[in-house]
Structure 1
Amino acid sequence: MTSERNRELVKQAWRSFSTRDKDLIATFFTKDAEWLAPPGNATAVALGGTHHMVGRDAIVHFLTVDFRRMFVADVALDFRGFYAAGDVVVVEETMQATLANGNDYRNDYCFIFELRDGLIHQVREYMDTAKGHRMVFGEA
């Protein structure tokens, strides 16, 4: 696939995430897909989960069930860029939401999507982990 097609596929995948339609979301990932976030990030800690999801089913479960346990209302994404080169697509965004504990959440993210055979095979997620911990757990 071309860089432009890969960029459009990742945009479509993002749109699918908000539907919470597990079957639709699953169509964007390889069966053995991985999603890696920084170890000890606030979301993984608060949910008692992992920072390294392995397999399409684990990723889909997070996006359709666990995500909304953490980010319960007012989820808004401000995309600042979708950049593609071959099978790699980089997404810059700011996410805002209301957390399950009632706190406001706002953090900047960078996601690197690697595609294989026209599907998302790996996602590497980067964010300000210290800021995330303050919003989720309060000041240390």
Structure 2
Amino acid sequence: MTNPAAREASKQIVLNAWQTFRTRDAKLIAALFAPDAEWIAPAGNATAVALDHADHMIGADAIARFISTEMHRLFSEIDIAFRAVHADGDSVIVEERMRATVPGGRRYENDYCFVFVVEAGRIKQVREYMDTRKGWQMVFGETSH
């Protein structure tokens, strides 16, 4: 069992990050991440394919650029609703539902699970999980790829 104060500190770092993501300020977002941070999403996911973007980003600046600018080329009217946030030591799990609009006016709605690893007060790693088939259908309007 981990120290309750450490658990709460990690949880607050991640919750504050989500608030900062909304600013779309790349410098503020980059400051949340360790310089060599990683964001790992499922290979070949619809967002990465639609944006011709890596599904494994490395570096605070690359992650910040994606969050502040690049993802908004695909998603507009983004609404994120948290279902739960769980913390244990330096790991924080966020369950959420994202709703948005994609090009062509189609609605996007998918559930996500993010596992954040916090180290020395900054986000060191994010592992992202979602229903990739559902995401593909909503982004491309197709049933398979």
Shift of 1:55: 0.5
Q: Secondary structure at the match of 2:69?
A: helix
In the other structure, the counterpart of 2:128 is 125
Question: TM-score, structure 1 length as denominator?
Answer: 0.96
- 1:81-140: CA deviation from partner (whole Å, max 9, x where unpaired): 111000000000000001123210000000000011111000000000000000011123
In the other structure, the counterpart of 2:16 is 12
* 4+ aligned runs moved over 3 Å, structure 1: none
Shift of 1:22: 1.1
Q: Is this contact kept in 1: 2:31–2:60, CA < 8 A?
A: no
- Give the Cα separation in 1 of the matches to 2:30 and 2:66: 12
In the other structure, the counterpart of 1:87 is 90
Matches within 5 A, 1:52-71: 52-71=56-75
In the other structure, the counterpart of 2:112 is 109
- Give the Cα separation in 2 of the matches to 1:111 and 1:132: 16
Q: Is this contact kept in 2: 1:114–1:120, CA < 8 A?
A: yes
Pairwise CA RMSD of aligned residues? 0.9
Q: Is this contact kept in 2: 1:101–1:136, CA < 8 A?
A: no
- Give the Cα separation in 1 of the matches to 2:137 and 2:59: 30
- 1:59-87: CA deviation from partner (whole Å, max 9, x where unpaired): 00100111110102x21111011110000
In the other structure, the counterpart of 1:25 is 29
Question: TM-score, structure 2 length as denominator?
Answer: 0.93
In the other structure, the counterpart of 1:47 is 51
In the other structure, the counterpart of 2:139 is 136
Task: Return the letter of the residue paired with 2:91.
Answer: V
Q: Is this contact kept in 1: 2:34–2:123, CA < 8 A?
A: yes
Identity rate of aligned residues, in percent? 52
Q: Is this contact kept in 1: 2:51–2:74, CA < 8 A?
A: yes
Mark the runs of 5 or more structure 2 residues left unpaired by the alignment.
Answer: none
Count of residue pairs the alignment pairs up: 139
- Give the Cα separation in 2 of the matches to 1:53 and 1:5: 25
